Amino acid sequence: MGVYNKKKHAALAYLFFAPFGALLIVFKLIPFANSIRMVFYKWDILGTPQFIGFANFTKMFSDKVFLSSLWHTFYFVILVVPPIMILSFLIAILANSRAYGKGFVRSAFYLPYTLTISVVCLTWSLLYNPYFGLISKFTKALGLKTINWLVDPFWAMPAIAITTIWWTIGFCVVLYIAGLQQIPSSYYEAAELDGANGFKKMIFITIPLLKRVHVLVIVTQIIASLQIFGQVYIMTAGGPAGKTRTVIQYIYEQGFRYFRMGYAQSMAFVLFLIMLIFAYFQLRLMISSSKEELI
């Protein structure tokens, strides 16, 4: 029987970790530290970086385009997150029930999530076309006014939000189904013995016991929505008149079109802090819900 050698096992552990640690430092930590340093510099890629202190932040919060882009980003979050949470929860209940065709429901709502962003956006751009799009033909058949969805300043962002909801809702449905399957059936059986109907079981059992899933869905969707870029860039390119320009697109424009890398990095840093705050609240809520389950 071999003798346990603590130092030998610790050395082996560090040896196995070394390749990953080296890659993490080279490709993650060093670039991250350099990006933090760059927020204090003015750099156009070709020239030498010039230290300007907090000038990038001063300029940022007086930049009307940045502030409007920030508002458009939060507006998109408001349009997307509540519908995704509510609809995915209801779809998951249907897909997890004993109803006939639940397998079709699961597949139908998850398949769009497997499509690439270019396919999704180009397909929905055709559907939104005011001349031959299926949506426009449907509104005409109902006698309603034809809307130029992606050109109208009022409807452009909601149109992108609808596309995003259709594309990403399948992921949240899967999360809710996984959560529903973790609820013991004995809870529902006890509620039925007490005379509870389906609505009361959902209000007093299903929704409270899915608290951790609710938090996960809300925070992950908020963070994903704050990073919205592809849908906007493909469908409207930030138009009309900048009404759908988001923070990520403005960062892209400043960094790779006008080569203001320091300024672009400053905006990216602010967005990173916003997402970090949401991630922190997610962690706190998950910990508190875990403590409640242990009581």
Shared domain check, 129 and 234: yes
Does residue 162 form part of some domain?
yes
Give the pLDDT of residue 268.
Answer: 93
Q: What is the mean pLDDT of the chain?
A: 88
Give the pLDDT of residue 294.
Answer: 52
Place of tokens 């993650």: 28
The CA–CA distances, whole Å, from 190 to 37, 101, 246 equal 59, 27, 49
Shared domain check, 27 and 58: no
- CA-to-CA distance for 267 and 70, rounded, in angstroms? 10
Does residue 47 form part of some domain?
no
Shared domain check, 9 and 93: no
Does residue 45 form part of some domain?
no
Shared domain check, 203 and 130: yes
pLDDT digits (tens, 9 = 90+) for 217-241: 998 999 999 999 999 999 999 989 8
Shared domain check, 72 and 22: no
Shared domain check, 196 and 155: yes
- Total tally of structural domains belonging to the chain: 2
Does residue 115 form part of some domain?
yes
The residue among 78, 108, 246 whose CA lies nearest residue 169 is: 108
What confidence category does residue 292 fall into, taking pLDDT thresholds of 50, 70 and 90? low
Shared domain check, 97 and 241: yes
Mean pLDDT within 63-85:
95
Shared domain check, 171 and 30: no
Q: Which two tokens stand for residue 192?
A: 């039925």
Give the pLDDT of residue 147.
Answer: 86
Shared domain check, 255 and 155: yes
Shared domain check, 103 and 25: no
- CA-to-CA distance for 282 and 287, rounded, in angstroms? 9
Residue 162: pLDDT over 90 = yes
Does residue 46 form part of some domain?
no
Does residue 44 form part of some domain?
no
Residue 31, helix vs strand vs coil: helix
Q: What is the CATH number of the domain that holds 182?
A: 1.10.3720.10
Q: Supply the range of the domain harboring residue 1.
A: 1-38
Residue 103's Cα: distance from chain center in Å?
26
Shared domain check, 167 and 75: yes
What confidence category does residue 1 fall into, taking pLDDT thresholds of 50, 70 and 90? very low
Does residue 235 form part of some domain?
yes
Is 92:177 a contact under the CB 8 Å cutoff?
Answer: yes
Does residue 49 form part of some domain?
no
Shared domain check, 67 and 33: no
Give the pLDDT of residue 4.
Answer: 57
